[in-house]
Amino acid sequence: MKQQRGKLGIREYVSIAIMMVGLKATEETPARLYNMAQNAAWMIPLLSAVFFFIPLFLLIKTMSLFKGENLFYVVQKLLGRYFGFFVCLVIFVLSSFAFSFDTRDYSNIIRAFYFNTTPLLVLFAILMTICAYGAKKGIQHIGSVSYLIIFYVIISFIVALLLSTQDSNIQALLPIWGAGKLAILKQSSQRISMFAEFFMLTMLVPYLKSNKEFRKGTWIAYFCVSIQTSVATLFFICLMDQSLGGMGYPFHTTIRYISLGSYIPNIEIFFFVIWIMGVFIRFAAFLYIIALMFGHIFKIKDFEYLIPLLATLYLLIGNMPNNPIEVAQELKPLIGTISGPVFSAIALLLWLSALLKGEFKHAKNKNSM
């Protein structure tokens, strides 16, 4: 039975966006940032957000010319049938590899910290199955569930960070400039891929009630996740100091370390349950967007039926690397290094094409009539 297109409200959309981007603070991102800028690692998310602001602003500005249309429609409208198809295919391929390696990395986290004796492939398959089931339900269901649990995800994250202050040392933030101002600026410009999901979220424009809600929701989520990742990195620096650089997943190390006194020493299961629900929502939305891309590229109207097939394909791709370190330290950074600049260049190209074709002028004249 074909799903009826539902409309997301701004609350559901913001919840999905925060899940998709904000959960990066719970993986290896803070440790990688520390290796780049040392004590000043907490500045990188803020500066990266500033660098990515311009291409994202231009993309949203361009999308506003085509009300109710998704990114791929705009790409093919402005860049032509053949070149537009190629650009859409590039976006789809990069997003697919990012999804495959991200889900594999999260499976590595689950096995390393919580289910050590369970085979990795089993955990990976369970994660992919649940995400495929959620994606098959449709984006409106994903949005509803994400709005229901976003409060608990944020509160649990804040509580974990606050409990970590019991053994934190603010002196670890010194020297304040870490590896140096130039190093901070350089690494910030190279880490814009932290916000690449906002580029993908433009596929959901037709599912929102209006372009205004999409624009407003995007900027709310963008501000929230920028602050969240920066603050989380700052807290991890204060708690772990130089050992943060060699820490694979600082958030999960932290929740195993903290306690509520001698009577309740192990509380990580509380944080794990809420975190894993957020993970399911994140990847269900991610998978739905990729399936939507695939359906648009190959003119498949009922693309939802392809979600289980795509999930199986991504399971096989993600399971190819034998070493978990290879996924976290090589493959994921490689995709990020490529996708950040590519997505930014596409956003600039779309804006320039719309400008040269007079689309902004036509829209202005139409609104003045």
**What's the burial of 119, exposed, middle or buried (CB within 10 Å: 0-12/13-18/19+)?**
exposed
DSSP characters over 138-199: -HHHHHHHHHHHHHHHHHHHHHHHHHHGGG--GGGG-STTTT-HHHHHHHHHHTGGGGTHHH
Q: Are 112 and 249 in contact (CB under 8 A)?
A: yes
| pLDDT by 10s per residue, the chain, length 369 | 344 456 899 999 999 999 999 999 999 999 999 999 999 999 999 999 999 999 999 999 999 999 889 999 999 999 999 999 999 999 999 999 999 999 999 999 999 999 999 999 999 999 999 999 999 999 999 999 999 999 999 999 999 999 989 888 999 998 899 888 999 999 999 999 999 999 999 999 999 988 899 999 999 999 999 999 999 999 999 999 989 988 889 999 999 888 776 666 678 889 999 999 999 999 999 999 999 999 999 999 999 999 999 999 999 999 998 888 888 888 899 999 999 999 999 999 999 999 999 888 887 777 665
- pTM, to two decimals: 0.95
Structural domains of the chain, ranges and CATH numbers in brackets: 11-361 (1.20.1740.10)
Q: What is the pLDDT of residue 266?
A: 74
Q: Report the pLDDT value the prediction gives residue 141, as an integer from 0 to 100.
A: 96
Determine contact, residues 16/222, Cβ cutoff 8 Å: no
pLDDT of res. 59: 97
